[in-house]
Structure 1
Amino acid sequence: MSRARSETREVMVQRDVRVPMRDGITLSADVYRPRSEEKVPAIVVRTPYGKTSDEIDATARFFASRGYGVVYMDVRGRGDSDGEFVPYRNEGRDGYDSIEWAAAQPWCSGAVGTMGASYLARIQWLAALHHPPHLKAMISIVSPSDPFVEWPTGVPTPHHLCWLYMTSGRVMQNVDVIDWERIYWHLPLETMDELTGKSLPHWREEIRHPQLDDWWKEICYQDRFHELDLPVLHISGWYDDEQVGTPLNYMGMVRHAATERARRSQKLIMGPWPHRINRSTRLGEIDFGPESVIDLLGYQLRWFDYWLKGKENGIMDEPPVRIFVMGENRWREEEDWPLPDTRWTRYYLRSGGRANSRFGDGRLCTDPPAEGEAPFDRFRYDPADPVPYITEMTSAQIGGPDDYSAVERRDDVLVYTTPPLEEDLEVTGPVRMELFASTSARDTDFMAKLLDVWPNGFAQRLTDGMVRGRFRKGMDRPELLEPGRVYRFEIDLWNTSHVFKKGHRIRVEIASSAFPKYDRNLNTGAPLGRSTDMEVAEQTVYHSKQYPSAIILPVISR
């Protein structure tokens, strides 16, 4: 992706421009635009993280010097904007009012686009559902999903408390002065906020809604793509801790957008990046090579030049999907997602009955279990001693291509591994697990993780997912488990694009905790988030002819 070439212009900036909302509240915006009388398209970016950083200033000047009016705005209740910050609840209406305000400015041509990452991406979708007439295109980067898509637990994740603390008040709070590791262990979850030194009412409000109800549905968007008629550029990374939303949004718009024009006007870019995308070739111990960092800003400029200025720059003639294939470390263009030539291949869990730890006898095979083999593996899940999830303690980035070989020494982790591969194997697309299991508990969790085991033993996490037993039928239909009964659990492991190299091995881990990525299931079946009582659960994972547990991998022919 080469940088879009365009003539740059002198930029003028107006600080703290007051933008009125329909209820009389005014929000604060900094407006960057070319110093000329020419009418230009507007780009609206609304943020809870403060609009005065060096990075924001550089991005705004980049677009303004190339013929755009860039409106960077503090959302309601944050920074210099009036009102109270209530995450997501006002962003649809405020987004509409901000877009239409920008379109009405004397310097604006009437065409408006929106862009932004993370919170800034999701609130674009919420604004778009209000149908501002001048909104012509969006750039949605690392967008969070609807409630419970990323964390199907019924309660907010421990790291979410860190985010709520960081965005409490009007200015960014320093999360580095808090001992988050100590806080995440606190029970009950409902009062965890007290340990930060301040009350966080939004945390407690979310705890009070431990399933998908009308309170949550008010801020959902992923079931409403059929209402939208917009071109969208979707961007994320394989190690984005909110990655699942971006491919879902792309597929949702391609298949369900309101018009054929919109369905054909979607683009997807997936790189080897964490939540803060496209900043380094290296993530953890993995270097993805010089091609992994691209001129993404230039590509976004081409997107807006086409949709807001009508420039025929060829961007819509290019294939709609651009992915970085890890392991091989190269970019590739595709016509759809998932890839049309995907071979959905089952890798079955098998063992002699002792798959506990990486020193056990767990195997991963394309042949289904046969009669006479050991039909199950067992382990004990103790919420007081959960399986660790390797991550930093703040909400900035949860997990990466980390080495789980040490974690796999635990007996409460079942490990299933292929023999060394005789040739390269590409896995690109959504990954899911069909797990047959029973438990002694009324409620418990099952986690699945896909890893690439290098010849030197490095066990690289690729992607993972979980299911909470009471929500096996859906986040809106909790139902406790019957102890001892065998259930079929479906686990969404999100997406990846990775080549397992010759001599490497494919591995799957099964456990009942991944702490602190997810809160610990206390195994009692009590109301979520309000209890301190816990029980040890006796877990059984089945892999028999009757109960053929398997991970389904999207294998691509080489």
Structure 2
Amino acid sequence: MQPKISSQYNVRVPMRDGVTLSADIFRPAETKQGARVPVILVRTPYNKNQVPYVEAARYFAERGYAYVTMDVRGRGDSDGEFVPYVNDGRDGYDAIEWCAAQGWSTGNVGTLGGSYLGRVQWLAALHQPPSLKTMIVMVTPSDPFVEFPTGTGGLQHLCWLYLVNGRLRQPMDQIDWNPIYQHLPLNTMDERAGFDAPKWREELQHPTRDAYWERICYQNKFEQINLPVMHISGWYDDEQIGTPLNFIGMTTRGATEFARKNQKLLMGPWGHAINTTQKIGEVDFGARALIDLRAYELRWFDAWLKNQDDGITREPAARIFVMGKNEWRDENEFPLARTQYTKFYFHSSGNANSRYGDGALSQEMPRNEKPDAYTYDPSRPTPYITNATSSQIGGPDDYSAIQQRGDVLVYVTASLEHDTEVIGPVRVILYASSSAVDTDFTALLFDLHPNGFAQRLCDGVVRARYRDGMETASLIEPHKIYKYEIDVWNTCHVFFAGHRIGVQIASAAFPKYDRNLNTGKDLATGTRMEIAAQMIYHDAEHPSALVLPII
């Protein structure tokens, strides 16, 4: 019996500068007799011979595609030096056009992949390779400082740099990371971890969005991309913010009407490892949480690479999983056109500290109310519940224990009389002062269940020196009241009757975000800490509020 698939390993693919990259190619056997098929290209820093890549390659090759998995420059079997993202735009263009020029190719190329493998697709698309017809981008990282608007890449970024240290995947779990996150200064944390990461130290020298970062930015350039794109992520993906932003960016700013009208969004109840489990932590999202994602991808590629009318291009633009109800829903856009952005104002008599305080949320404007005060000590930062490594940062975790701390303010609604559906971007408007010249304010949206389970939904941070954006840093005047806006990312959740909507305010979420030492000094080299006295205001002149997208 003749094999259905022809496979080639370590095929050398030349780049424009003479460096050759290594690819494994799986294609239908009939291509050896002259048949031509479309190509799906996957470019990875995680070594192309991993089992999931091979399984995907065989799936698509059996369905009439050539599937090319390539090690990016400097990783695996590819030559050159690995510099994250910097060469991936040009190399992606060259790889796409090489695929299109092969004798077994129809000339139509699509790209596929998640996380690093998603971002490199955007960087290649900016070079406008003529043979690229579509992309499926999953759990895609955003531009610098979108996920971490702190002037650093986040402490757990060092885990990833260890993972890709050298040419092969390194075992992140062999290092005890939690004591390392306590290390100061930040610019020697790699030494504390036991390895050399020049990229870590180099990035810390660029705490604002400057020319160094612009070379790997794509979210400010959607006007240059004229492609149908499928965007996939999960509500608990720790890089979730990028996928809705990219969908919105392409539907509103894509290069042509064709591009703007041919975007697809798929958001599940998943973490960064999408569509692998129906349960995250203590929360089970039900049997419908998992789908035949590969078949969904196949329909998209069939439409755009084979010109087959399978109906997917006429389906609603967004397919989203509504948590709580645990059901899939089709929508024509995201955010939803029928959204009512509703302010839930902070209230208290000055004692909102901890879950045992008197912090409240309501749609009634505050009048004359005492501010809430707490002390932020960087040597004892408010914890963030997460795995130690960067493989998954946070989830639907129970924050009831953390909300016993005095350096956490908790504001909750009364028990809801009716189910309340919240779908879309969440933000907090915060009026605050500090005794420090720089500090952080964090906000976390949670669902307070009747049994006391405080389920995290999404969260965000503002670093005071970057309150006006990441282009410049500006310290604050101690004890002066400033208005801050905190991007709390997105959620898609039903708060059931009897539950309460809650928001947690603090000045740390450690180790997700590096500690603000409150001194205003250099982030990379600072070691001295100061304790900050924080005040949160909620009165007629300073109406702090949680802004929810109510459906």
So what's the TM-score if we normalise by structure 2? Answer: 0.99
1:129 corresponds to which residue?
A: 126
Alignment counterpart, residue 259 of structure 2, candidates 242, 262, 265: 262
Q: Aligned partner of 1:266: which letter?
A: Q
Q: Does 1:391 align with 2:391?
A: no
Q: Aligned partner of 2:13: which letter?
A: V
Alignment counterpart, residue 151 of structure 1, candidates 148, 153, 162: 148
What is the CA deviation profile of residues 25-48 of structure 1, one whole-angstrom value per residue up to 9, with x for unaligned ones? 100000000000310001110000
Q: Does 1:218 align with 2:215?
A: yes
Q: Does 1:407 align with 2:402?
A: yes
Separation in 1, partners of 2:5, 2:146: 41
Alignment counterpart, residue 504 of structure 2, candidates 492, 495, 509: 509
Separation in 1, partners of 2:111, 2:534: 48
1:6 corresponds to which residue?
A: none
Shift, 1:434, TM fit: 0.5
1:318 corresponds to which residue?
A: 315
Alignment counterpart, residue 280 of structure 1, candidates 246, 255, 277: 277
Cα pair 2:144 2:153 within 8 Å, conserved: no
Separation in 2, partners of 1:177, 1:284: 22
Q: Aligned partner of 1:32: which letter?
A: F
Q: CA RMSD in A?
A: 0.9
What is the CA deviation profile of residues 73-113 of structure 1, one whole-angstrom value per residue up to 9, with x for unaligned ones? 00001000001110011000000000000000000000000
Separation in 2, partners of 1:197, 1:516: 19
2:465 corresponds to which residue?
A: 470
Shift, 1:10, TM fit: 1.1
So what's the TM-score if we normalise by structure 1? Answer: 0.97
What is the CA deviation profile of residues 195-252 of structure 1, one whole-angstrom value per residue up to 9, with x for unaligned ones? 1211100000001111100000110000000011000000000000000000000000
2:14 corresponds to which residue?
A: 20
Q: Aligned partner of 1:383: which letter?
A: P
Shift, 1:370, TM fit: 2.1
Q: Aligned partner of 1:441: which letter?
A: A
1:99 corresponds to which residue?
A: 96
Shift, 1:312, TM fit: 0.5
2:28 corresponds to which residue?
A: 34
Cα pair 2:396 2:457 within 8 Å, conserved: yes
Q: Could you list the runs of 5+ residues in structure 1 that have no partner in the other structure?
A: 1-8
Separation in 1, partners of 2:292, 2:363: 40
Separation in 2, partners of 1:379, 1:216: 36
Shift, 1:53, TM fit: 1.4
Q: How many residues align?
A: 547
2:525 corresponds to which residue?
A: 530
Shift, 1:272, TM fit: 0.3
2:534 corresponds to which residue?
A: 539
Alignment counterpart, residue 176 of structure 2, candidates 176, 179, 183: 179
Q: Aligned partner of 2:404: which letter?
A: R
Separation in 1, partners of 2:314, 2:130: 26
2:446 corresponds to which residue?
A: 451
Shift, 1:477, TM fit: 1.7
Separation in 1, partners of 2:14, 2:193: 34
Separation in 2, partners of 1:174, 1:340: 45
Separation in 1, partners of 2:207, 2:314: 45
Separation in 1, partners of 2:107, 2:239: 33
Q: Does 1:292 align with 2:274?
A: no
Q: Aligned partner of 1:454: which letter?
A: H
For 2:497, what is the secondary structure of its paired residue?
A: coil
Separation in 1, partners of 2:255, 2:195: 45
Separation in 2, partners of 1:450, 1:338: 18
Cα pair 2:447 2:501 within 8 Å, conserved: yes
Shift, 1:54, TM fit: 1.3
Separation in 2, partners of 1:375, 1:60: 62
Q: Percent identity, aligned pairs only?
A: 60
Q: Does 1:343 align with 2:340?
A: yes
Displaced runs of 4 or more, over 6 A: none
For 1:307, what is the secondary structure of its paired residue?
A: helix
Q: Aligned partner of 1:13: which letter?
A: S
Alignment counterpart, residue 240 of structure 2, candidates 234, 240, 243: 243
Separation in 2, partners of 1:424, 1:12: 54
Alignment counterpart, residue 80 of structure 2, candidates 79, 83, 102: 83
What is the CA deviation profile of residues 320-350 of structure 1, one whole-angstrom value per residue up to 9, with x for unaligned ones? 0000000000000001111010010000010
Q: Does 1:481 align with 2:470?
A: no
For 2:468, what is the secondary structure of its paired residue?
A: coil
Cα pair 2:425 2:489 within 8 Å, conserved: yes
For 1:158, what is the secondary structure of its paired residue?
A: coil
1:432 corresponds to which residue?
A: 427
Alignment counterpart, residue 492 of structure 1, candidates 462, 479, 487: 487
Shift, 1:375, TM fit: 3.0
